[in-house]
Amino acid sequence: MKKMKLPKTIAIILICVLIDIALHSITSAYSTMPENPNYSKLAALVGTEIIATLWALLAFSGAACVFYRLQTSIPGVGLSKGLRYGTAISLLWLFAMLEGVALFGNEIINEFVVGLSDAIPVFLMGVLLSLSTPKNRKGFELKLLTRNQKILVVCVFTGVFFIGRYIAYVTGMIQSGHQTSPLYTCLWTLLMGACIGVACILLGNPGNALSLKRGALRFSILFFGVNWATFLAFMPLLFSGFIIDVMSRIIIDIFLVTIGYYLAFNPKIEI
């Protein structure tokens, strides 16, 4: 990131963080906070409001850095890049939030509204960041995916994520609601995998300009890994007892997304 762009980027991040905080304040009636929360030592020391603000700064800053790293491989120019990136990350965060219905027994409307409070400002940030980028900036010459290729991508990511997650559920590697809310857990896992596939389509396929390995690393580690990790970091920052579970989720899910990318864009697999 160029130094001359840094002040503008910081301003965009701060504006979107303030919008995020405002939306959460407006929708406080839909809060998913448990009745008797077991706060982390840090949250007990500095307060929940400061933790929430620090998380927002971390998550939005991470998302902004990822955008600048990926912008040359996102199809389109100017605003279209921001719309694609903003849509991809907002879908990722929104669907991630909905897992709380099965994990914690929260109402789906509450999880959806709280998720939107994060999804809307991060979508806006993607748009604003793209408007601050020169329209004539050159990137990779990307070939758009055909309809059959898009279907394959979504199906592969859905299948890999579903199978991998259920192995993690059954073996107890991560907490889940597969026993208490089996139908919802099954549906959410399928939709989350499909969401990751859609995000991959929105961000293009740098694999046709880069090696399969580099393309997989850009999507699974850079886009998914960073944005997934910063989003999930909220739980261990605010509550006690979530560090191991969240770290396990991050590692397992990044691995699954990497496998999904390799299978989806392997030149030996055609439909």
pLDDT at 62: 98
Residue with tokens 């965009």: 12
Whether 83 is covered by a domain: the verdict is yes
Q: Which two tokens stand for residue 144?
A: 């758009």
What does the pLDDT look like over 144-171, one tens digit per residue? 788 888 999 999 999 999 999 999 999 9
Show the tokens assigned to 187. Answer: 């549906």
Task: Answer yes or no: is 208 within a domain.
Answer: yes
Tens-digit pLDDT profile for residues 9-35? 999 999 999 999 999 999 999 999 888
Q: Does residue 270 fall inside a structural domain? A: no
**What token pair was written down for 159?**
């299948």
| pLDDT for position 165 | 98
Radius of gyration of the chain (CA): 18
Burial class (CB in 10 A: 0-12, 13-18, 19+), 32: middle
On whether the pTM is more than 0.75, the answer is yes
pLDDT(271) > 60 = no
Residue 269 lies in a domain: no
Specify the number of domains making up the chain. 1
* pLDDT band, residue 134 (cuts 50/70/90): confident
Distance (Å, rounded) from C-alpha 55 to C-alpha 263?
34
**What are φ and ψ of residue 139, in 5° steps?**
-135, -160
Closest by CA to 133, choosing from 251, 263, 1, is 1
SS3 239: strand
What's the confidence (pLDDT) of residue 138?
Answer: 55
Tens digits of per-residue pLDDT, 230-253? Answer: 999 999 999 999 999 999 999 999
* Cα separation of the two ends of the chain: 39
**227, 63 Cβ separation under 8 angstroms:** yes
In a domain, 271, yes or no: no
- Using CA atoms, how far residue 191 sits from 53, 87, 89, 162, 212, in Å, is 29, 16, 15, 9, 25
